Chains A and B, each alone.
Chain A
Amino acid sequence: SQQGEEDPQALSIQEGENATMNCSYKTSINNLQWYRQNSGRGLVHLILIRSNEREKHSGRLRVTLDTSKKSSSLLITASRAADTASYFCATTHRYNNNDMRFGAGTRLTVKP
């Protein structure tokens, strides 16, 4: 079964705007990761945040993690048309690093 649940399922914004995607999960986790997938392609790892971290930055990406609410958010600032893709969160089980579960993803469209 899917572990992470992303919302919104689809998001459409104008170039230059910020995009925020959310993810909720149910079990105890070791870390949470965000991936990007262009249409029909493999997944690209974006960022990993550990369960003892609350916020992490990488370039235009900002990820937050609230373990009390079992939720995470991915913020993409100053979006570009090339950011158009599907974004997935994935949680790694706290006691089994091999147990990594994905949500259904958010489809982001950035209009030029």
Chain B
Amino acid sequence: SQTIHQWPATLVQPVGSPLSLECTVEGTSNPNLYWYRQAAGRGLQLLFYSVGIGQISSEVPQNLSASRPQDRQFILSSKKLLLSDSGFYLCALGLAGEKFFGPGTRLTVL
């Protein structure tokens, strides 16, 4: 069965600093991968999805970017974090119409 790894689990960063969150998956090949953000007490917002290496679709224009350097690796980045970037970031894998989520990274921007 598929497994989704995310790290770090928690992160505290100052405003204006860069960001790199990593997601890797196991147990499947050529997966569709997704980045979601969840603000406190809210539902999930789709940020990016990728159907293959080097293929990124952006759902929300903002100061975040995503990359897929390898089939099972999906990275979320920012050059300069904003306070509003704080939240819970979840990587997900799409399989047969269902989505399976990783454990998430809680980001606090101070």
Contact = CB atoms under 8 A, between A and B. Distances in A.
Interface of A: 2, 4, 30-31, 33, 35, 40-45, 48, 50, 88, 90, 92, 97-105
Interface of B: 32, 34, 36, 41-46, 49, 51, 57, 88, 90, 94, 97-104, 106
A101 B47 CA distance: 11
Contacts of A45: 98-101
Given A42-B103, A43-B90, A30 B97 contact: yes
Contact of A100 (B57, B99, B106): B99
Contacts of B102: 42
6 contacts: A2-B45, A43-B90, A45-B100, A99-B46, A100-B46, A105-B43
Contacts, number: 57
A5 to B, nearest CB: 9
A95 to B, nearest CB: 13
A92 B94 CA distance: 11
Contacts of B43: 2, 4, 88, 102-105
